[in-house]
Structure 1
């Protein structure tokens, strides 16, 4: 039963990524998963329930990546924690790039479901990042910045590879699915954070985060 459920999820991710939510039917999902269409109703109460499950699972994992790293703040500096959080988010998205691309694409279409679910999780993300920046400013690690502007720019960088993959392939001559790209992109984001936020700029990269 677990295998059937997972086959449905894998098929839905692949089809939603390729054809979009509206362009994918329950029959399409069942055919690709090689299961009876009734199983989709049984496990997920239909296509919309399946979408809700995928989005919730994605955001639960996204937030958990942040929370696990945030819990280390008593042992590492605010800068180290913040940089690790961003690196771990980028790695999390890269490992789920089809689902990530679908999620951000649906978000850009102003899906009511995505907006309702997103508000809860991204508000928590904002809270954790704001706490780290405030703590870093108190500890003289970070300079004073507009948090709203910093967060807006950071979120844009985190989502950019999956919102505009054509730009990356045609202008940067790389692909978001390549390990080379994500490693290069992580370094670029870290350099921007260093220049934008940090008082003492390091000439050496931070130790790579232990992704969980």
Structure 2
């Protein structure tokens, strides 16, 4: 039973990514998962319930990644924790790139469901990052910057590879699905964070192992 449920999830991620939520039927999902259509209703109460499960699972993992990094603030500086947090977010998204691409695409369509679920999790994300920045400002690690503007730009960078993969591949001739790209992208995001936020700057390039 658990195997059938996972096969449905895997098939839904693949099909939602390729055809979109509205372009995918429960029969499409059942066929690709090689299960009976009734299993989708049994496990998820239909396609809408399956969508909610995928989004919730993605955001729960996303937030757990942030929370686990945030716990290191008692042992590391605010700057080290914030930089590691952003690296971990980018790595988390890269490892789930089809689901990440689908999530950001649905978010851009202003879906009521996605917006309601997203608000809960991203409000928590904002809280953790704001706490790190406030702490870093108190410790003179960070400049006094507008948190709203910094967060707006940071979120744009975090989502860019998944909102506009065609632009990156066809115009910039890079490939967001390759590990080489995400490693390079992490370094560039960190350089921007150094300039935008930090009072003292690290020396680049950092060791490659820091991005894996």
TM range (shorter): over 0.9
CA distance in 2, matches of 1:202, 1:14: 40
TM-score with structure 2 length normalisation?
A: 0.97
TM normalised by structure 1 equals 0.97
Partners in 2 of 1:196 and 1:53 — Cα distance? 37
Moved over 4 A (4+): 205-211
Does the CA-based 8 Å contact 2:70-2:81 persist in structure 1?
Answer: yes
Instruction: Measure how far apart 1:172 and its partner are.
Output: 1.8
For residues 44-87 of structure 1, give each alpha carbon's deviation from its aligned partner in whole angstroms, at most 9, with x where no partner exists.
Answer: 00000000000000000000000000001000000000000000
1:186-201 pair list within 5 angstroms:
186-201=186-201
In structure 2, the residue matched to 1:175 is: 175
Instruction: Report how many aligned residue pairs link the two structures.
Output: 211
CA contact (8 A) 2:104 2:159 kept: yes
Equivalent residue number for residue 23 of structure 2: 23
The answer (yes or no) to whether the contact 1:88–1:209 under 8 Å persists in 2 is no
Whole-angstrom CA distance in 2 between matches of 1:87 and 1:37:
39
SS of 1:57 mapped into structure 2: helix
* More RCO (CA 8 Å, sep 6+): 1
In the aligned structure 1, how far is the partner of 2:204 from the partner of 2:13?
A: 39
Q: Distance in 1 between matches of 2:39 and 2:73?
A: 44
Q: CA deviation at 1:175?
A: 1.1
Unaligned runs of at least 5 residues, structure 1: none
Match of 1:37 in 2: 37
2 CA distance for matches of 1:77 and 1:150? 19
C-alpha displacement of 1:166 = 1.0
Unaligned runs of 5+ in 2: none
Distance in 2, Cα, partners of 1:164 & 1:182: 14
Separation in structure 1 between the aligned mates of residue 11 and residue 202 of structure 2, nearest angstrom = 45
User: Is it true that 1:64 corresponds to 2:64 in the alignment?
Assistant: yes
SS at structure 2 position matched to 1:71? helix
Written as runs of structure 1 = structure 2, the 5 A alignment for 1:158-173 is: 158-173=158-173
